[in-house]
Amino acid sequence: MDPARTILVRCSGRDRPGITTGLLGVLATAGAELYDLQQVVVRERLTLDLLVGLGDADHALKELLFHAWEQELQLDFEVVESDEDPEPGPRSVVTVIGSSLPPAALAAVTGAIADGGGNIDRIHRLSREPVVSFEFVAVGGDVDAMRSQLVAASQAHGVDVAIQRETLERRAKRLVVLDVDSTLIQDEVIELLADHAGCREQVSEVTARAMAGEIDFEQALRERVRRLAGTPASILDEVGAAVRLTAGARTFVRTLKRLGYTVAIVSGGFTAITDRLAADLGIDHAVANQLEIVDGTITGRLVGEVVDRPGKATVLRRIAAAEQVPLEQTVAIGDGANDLDMLATAGLGIAFNAKAVVRERADTAVSVPYLDAILFLLGIRREEVEAADAADAADAARPERDRAPVLPADGVPGA
């Protein structure tokens, strides 16, 4: 066999079982060496590339052409010099998410990768609904240069774009820690409590002062809690029943748990709400502030340490240590400045529908209103989620003694 006769064989045609097996069988009979192969199917149209080394190339190619003619396939050949296969550089994964992804948006993204020196090696579609998302695997390039260009493309076309190094740590994330208010749920719990207690105006005034930087988080929290003094503790049950999960929250948590992740929530809110959410969703850890309650009445004071901005990062470290998960394998998700330390501590910090300052400082941002869209940043495809949910539904339809426990769906788009 002449090792110089390295040939790229490209097969295309309507997909059906046995095509790859048949071509490999012909190559095996010809004594070929297989160096590489890749296959993709789009709308039942197959493209299969095989990089092979052939000794008696003329005979082998004739056999391949005859086999392709019999199978109604199209074959193309290209002689490849052995020195045309350079040592691959570092790989990066670029994830693009949007309510729609028109050609102009994708052209801007792929152009940003090229401008940063990256070469696209593979493209995978991750989802078609409730959002559209694609994953681009790029070889080489400067990650910082690509990130800068991708941010510009994201802003120009109103899509979410994330870039991560393709490393073992990216594929081995094991702990996800979420903020609660305006992240896991759509509401701000302190405002709901203030509504029920009849002190919304006073609480909003303190919140405005905190956002203006006049007082810090702990002082603002204690002042707002003080406004709740004398309120029956029963309002906590009313607020707990009233909170609205973010669209896709159940699917997000359910999928992570199915994959063996540890899931935690950490909140500047209150344990009476977070404990209820954790029990409902099957969350492993829930940490928040504790309201003091005496004789069934909220006293207006807190018990124990306050969970503030640095406290959230401390909680993430503590849970990671307890679960024996390296920080590089953790994910943190939040929306406010109070989450910045936690996002910076995690291996991947994600700003979810966040304030501008958080989007600018997080590793990446997701702006679509579906929490389960974050699954795409982890390389999880929508079809895989749907298949697993369908399997759970089939399990639920079996007799009760054979049934596995399953969480209910959100009942909203993205669930």
Tell me whether strands 175-178 and 262-270 are parallel, antiparallel or unpaired.
parallel
Q: What is the DSSP letter of 245?
A: B
Of 298, 301, 303, 311, give the one whose Cα is nearest residue 193. Answer: 298
**Three-state secondary-structure class, residue 128:** coil
- Provide the pLDDT for residue 236: 96
Using CA atoms, how far apart are residues 245 and 266, in angstroms rounded to an integer? 15
Strands, E assignment, 179-337: 262-270, 285-294, 297-303, 330-334
Q: What is the DSSP letter of 18?
A: T
- Provide the pLDDT for residue 86: 58
- Provide the pLDDT for residue 407: 45
Q: Tokens for 89, please give them.
A: 């550089």
Residue 130: asked if its preceding bond is cis (omega within 30°), the reply is yes
In CATH, which superfamily holds the domain spanning 91-166?
ACT domain (3.30.70.260)
Residues in CB range of 125: below 8 A, 6 or more apart: 132, 133, 134, 135, 381
User: What residue type is assigned to position 84 of the chain?
Assistant: E
Q: Tokens for 360, please give them.
A: 């600018």
- Provide the pLDDT for residue 381: 92
- Which tens digits make up the pLDDT trace of 272-328? 999 999 999 999 999 999 999 999 999 999 999 999 999 999 999 999 999 999 999
Share of the chain above pLDDT 90, in %: 70
296-316 burial, b at 16+ Cβ within 10 Å, e below that, comes to: eebbbebeeeebbbebbbbbb
CB 277 within 8 A of CB 180: yes
Paired strand residues for 34? 52
Q: Tokens for 79, please give them.
A: 């002689």
The CA dihedral of 246, 250, 256, 262, to the nearest 10 degrees, is 80
Q: Which residues are catalytic?
A: 179, 181
CB 388 within 8 A of CB 254: no
- Provide the pLDDT for residue 415: 46
Domain coordinates in residue numbering, the chain: 6-84, 91-166, 176-185+245-377
Using CA atoms, how far apart are residues 301 and 294, in angstroms rounded to an integer? 10
Q: How many CB atoms lie within 10 A of CB 145?
A: 15
Phi, psi dihedrals of residue 352, rounded to the nearest 5°: -110, 115
Q: Judging by beta carbons within 10 Å of its beta carbon (0-12, 13-18, 19+), is residue 317 exposed, middle or buried?
A: middle
- Which tens digits make up the pLDDT trace of 156-182? 999 999 999 888 777 789 999 999 999
Give the 3-state secondary structure percentages of the chain, helix then strand then coil, rounded to 5: 45, 25, 30
Domain 91-166 matches domain 176-185+245-377 at the CATH topology level: no
**Three-state secondary-structure class, residue 284:** coil
- Residue ranges in the chain whose pLDDT is less than 50: 1, 83, 404-409, 411-415
Q: At what angle do helices 143-157 and 103-115 cross, to 10 degrees?
A: 160
In CATH, which superfamily holds the domain spanning 176-185+245-377?
HAD superfamily/HAD-like (3.40.50.1000)
- Provide the pLDDT for residue 175: 97
Using CA atoms, how far apart are residues 98 and 366, in angstroms rounded to an integer? 9
Paired strand residues for 188? none
Fold of 6-84: Alpha-Beta Plaits (3.30.70)
Paired strand residues for 119? 139
Phi, psi dihedrals of residue 79, rounded to the nearest 5°: -75, 130
Q: Judging by beta carbons within 10 Å of its beta carbon (0-12, 13-18, 19+), is residue 244 exposed, middle or buried?
A: exposed
- Provide the pLDDT for residue 406: 46
Q: What is the pTM of this model?
A: 0.82
